[in-house]
Structure formats: structure tokens, C-alpha cells
Amino acid sequence: MSARDPLGFDLVVIGGGSGGLAGAFRAAALGARVALLEPAELGGTCVNAGCVPKKAMWLAAELAHRIGQAADLGFDVPARPAFDWQQFITDRQRYIAGIHASYRKRLDAAGIVWMPQRGRLLDARTVETGDGVRLRARHVLIATGSQPVRPDFPGAELGVVSDDFFHWNGAPPRVALVGGGYISIELAAVLQSLGSSVEIHARSSRLLTASDAEIVEQLEEHYRHLGIGLHLGVEPAALERAGDGIVVRGSDGACRGPYDRVLLAIGRRACTEGLGLDAAGVRLDDRGSIEVDARQDTSAEGVHAVGDVTGRATLTPVAIAAARRLMDRLFGGQADAKLDYDNIPTVVFSHPPLGAVGLTEAQAREAHGDAVRVYRTKFRPMLHALADSPLCSLFKLVCVATGDAPAQQRVVGIHLLGEAADEILQGFAVALKMGATLADLHDTVALHPTSAEELVLLR
């Protein structure tokens, strides 16, 4: 774009969350003139109502568990240690304010024009801001993310969604979580650990339907042990006021509750409303997400999309990686740059955490039949053994074999449920992505005494 056209940009980014910011920074570093439109706080869902505040709450819940263990191991801890939720929230929000400030500084330093406005496409080359300014762009990146879906059953307005949870000032005494996905599972254990009495309602017969069944079975056992009620296999059909609370009526007609709060976590949908996609010729897929090809290109030339709005592997590092590779292609001369969506590691911040990469046992058996070999170990991490708590870790390797020798068994799935699974998985995900075999794991000397060593000792 000509430097004499102040409203002309090489790239206009719509949405300043994980994907949008990463794309803007990378494009600017490669010499592009960039404008970024974000009407809300910088950082999007991850920083403001997702990963970051959620992990902070998870850490608080972890501390609550540790305090309990400390008491079991001889430390003099009061029977019900008080938790000042509001003080913790102040610290959490101070941390988040630091991230906002750092983004603002980096945007300035990179020369990115940040406009605190919504964006809307007038055509594939023109973006109009909320206050009517028209920006011309060689390329447009749509990174508007997703939002919680509200069910359309009767009384749904009595429930709240995960965005609301981050404004709570304390643990309500009785909470129902509706949904069996990761957000429900994570918030359930946080709330239970910080003082609520929690029940999960899900229409599926098990939690986390996309995860390895055996691992989930173990997780459900932990949750029952924590005191979390699980109502699985009954579709929540309505919320109703009853006495001093809200009940969940199931499709079986039974009412469960009452609860002080009902948190609806039944999924998320792409934010595409009011974006002018029709005008620009940008197609949606059958789930209402923006359709993109493997290079993050939409059906409109020059318009690209990354992150949750595409509905593909909706995680922060995926949005970031996809955006960076796209910019390397558009402005960095790397014609073939694109994100490989295979073998993306994921962590559910449950209690204990659940980490996974690659195929579940069921997926591997469907694809490779009898060639699948499964190795598993169930053990008590040392701290739990010392405190004589029943909580077990379950680690599982899924391999595809061309023969019996460990060198003939390629690792295609790693599933970890247990303490530190969130931290252990990253390195093993590198190994899986590089095509590690069981022999490679056996050739690696164990780190002792750790939970991680169990993975290289599996036979």
C-alpha cells in the first residue's frame, strides 16, 4: 500500500485476541503496514475469559488441595482454611492488566495502528470500523473468535455462561454445570475445591466424549471421589425456579437440585454476526464457522481467517501458530507455510489434569485394527502415597506395530491423567510428532523419582 494513503494497509486484522494479535505482530515484523480492530480488551477470550483467568482459578484450587495434603502429612493447618476469593481475584486481574499493558506497548513499538472499534467487511478489500471509517486492505484477517452457546430450552435465561463465572466474587454454595466438555469439567473441580458443592449434568453417557474412554473413566472416578455429582446420559431439558434456587429438569422428567447457580457450558459458536461476510463473499461451513482451506484462505480472495472463528482445533496456541504461518506466507516469502493440524497436544485442567496427543485407543483401533498395542500404568504419585490418598495417575501409550520389537512400534497416542500431566506432555508431544517408537522411549534414561519416568518405563 502507498505510504500516501493513510487508510490503506497491507493487512487489516479484525479481532485482537490470540490469533489476531499474533498475526498482526508477525506481519508487522515482516514489514507490513497493519491495522488491528478490537473494541474490547486486548487478548480476547484467552486473556480475559478463558485460559488465563481459568488457569489462575485452577492454581487456587490446586493450592486448596495441597493445603489438604499438607494437613494429612502433619502440617498444622486449620480444619477449614479460609480463602479470600476477592483478594485472589484482585491478584488475578492485576496479572491480566499487565498482559494488556504489554500488548499495548508491543503494538506501539511495532507501529501497528490499533483502533478500539468493531470491524465489518464492505467487500473483500474494504473494512468499515464501527465509527464509519473505511480502511483499504490488500489482505484481511478475520480472527473474531467464538462465544458461548445458550441452549434454547425453557428457563435457559436462569443460567449463566463461562464469561459470567469470571465475574463471580465467591464460590456459590450449590452449583450445577450443564455440559460434559472441558470447560464444564474444569470449572466444576475449581468450584468444588474452593468450597461449592457441584454437580455436572450431561446428555452424553460419559464426560469428554472426544477423549480416551479409559482415561475418562478414571477421571470420573476422581470426580466422584472429590464429591462432584455426575448426572450423565440424561439430556438437561429445562431450568426452573424452585424454592430458594434453580432446578435442572432432565429429559427423563426428573428435577435435580436446587442450585444457587447453573452454569451452562454446552459449546461455543463462531462470532460471525455483523461481519459483512456475504458482502465480501466469505462462505460459512455447516456449523456456522468460517470455511477455510489448509492455508487459512476463505472463499473470498485476500480474506483469511484463523482461530475459533474457523471452528478448527479451538485452542489459543493453534490460533497463534496458524496466524504466524499465514503471515510468513503472505509477507515473509514462505510460499508453503501453513499449520499442520495433526497431533496437536491438548490439556484439560481438570483435577488432576488430563493431557493427550494423537489417537485415542478407539481411534487407533478403527484405523489400524490388530496392529494396535496399548501400554498403560496406574500408580499413586509419591505425595498421594505419602498422604495415603487414593488418587491414582493413569498413563497410557497407544502404538501401531509392524512387529513385536519396540523399534517396530510407533507411538501414535499419549494419554496422561495425573499430577503434572499438563507439564509432562509437551516434550513427549515433540517425540510423537517426530515419529518416536517405543524403543526410543526405552532408550531414554528415566528421571527418578518422577511421574514422567513412568512413560519411558512402560513395557
| Residues between 397 and 426 that touch ligand FAD (CB under 6 A) | none
- Cα separation, 284 vs 131, in Å, equals 26
CB 243 within 8 A of CB 174: no
- Of the candidates 225, 384, 415, 448, the residue annotated as catalytic is 448
190 versus 359: smaller Cβ distance to ligand FAD:
190
37 versus 60: smaller Cβ distance to ligand FAD:
37
Count the Cβ atoms, other than its own, within 10 Å of residue 137: 25
Of 455, 168, 220, 256, the C-alpha closest to 352 is 220
> Binding segment for ligand FAD among 10-18, 232-240, 375-383, 385-393 (CB under 6 A)?
10-18
The one-character DSSP state at 284 is B
Question: Least Å distance between CB 393 and ligand FAD?
Answer: 20
143 versus 292: smaller Cβ distance to ligand FAD:
143
Question: Least Å distance between CB 423 and ligand FAD?
Answer: 13
Residue 307 binds ligand FAD (CB under 6 A): yes
How many angstroms separate the first and last alpha carbons of the chain? Answer: 60
Q: What is the total count of residues that contact ligand FAD (CB under 6 A)?
A: 36
How far is CA 369 from each of CA 14, 362, 395, 437, 438, rounded to the nearest angstrom?
A: 45, 10, 21, 18, 18
The yes-or-no answer on residue 448 being catalytic is yes
Indicate the residue whose CB is closest to ligand FAD: 17
Map residues 341-380 to x or -, x wherever contact with ligand FAD holds by CB under 6 A.
--------x-------------------------------
276 versus 381: smaller Cβ distance to ligand FAD:
276
| Residues between 70 and 129 that touch ligand FAD (CB under 6 A) | 118-119
Of 204, 126, 211, 149, the C-alpha closest to 396 is 211
Q: Which of 12, 26, 45, 222 binds ligand FAD (CB under 6 A)?
A: 45
41 versus 453: smaller Cβ distance to ligand FAD:
41
The residue type of 451 is S
**DSSP per residue, 384-421:** HHHTT----EEEEEEEEESSSSGGGEEEEEEEEESTTH
Of 152, 196, 155, 153, the C-alpha closest to 177 is 196
Residue 145 binds ligand FAD (CB under 6 A): yes
Q: Which of 11, 24, 34, 54 binds ligand FAD (CB under 6 A)?
A: 54
319 versus 372: smaller Cβ distance to ligand FAD:
319
Q: Which of 8, 195, 302, 317 binds ligand FAD (CB under 6 A)?
A: 317
Residue 8 binds ligand FAD (CB under 6 A): no
- Cα separation, 349 vs 422, in Å, equals 8
306 versus 398: smaller Cβ distance to ligand FAD:
306
Residue 50 binds ligand FAD (CB under 6 A): yes
Residue 201 binds ligand FAD (CB under 6 A): no
270: CB partners within 8 A, 6+ apart: 144, 145, 146, 284, 287, 288, 289, 290, 308, 309, 310, 311
Q: Which of 296, 316, 393, 451 binds ligand FAD (CB under 6 A)?
A: 316
Residue 18 binds ligand FAD (CB under 6 A): yes
Grid coordinates belonging to 77: 493447618
CB 120 within 8 A of CB 37: no
How far is CA 276 from each of CA 123, 129, 149, 279, 299, rounded to the nearest angstrom?
A: 8, 12, 21, 5, 14
Question: Least Å distance between CB 440 and ligand FAD?
Answer: 27
Q: Which of 7, 29, 30, 51 binds ligand FAD (CB under 6 A)?
A: 51
Grid coordinates belonging to 431: 517425540
Residue showing cell 461455543: 268
144 versus 409: smaller Cβ distance to ligand FAD:
144
Residues with a known catalytic role: 448
Residues at the interface with ligand FAD (CB under 6 A): 14-20, 37-40, 44-46, 49-51, 54, 118-119, 143-145, 162, 183, 271, 275, 307-309, 314-317, 319, 349
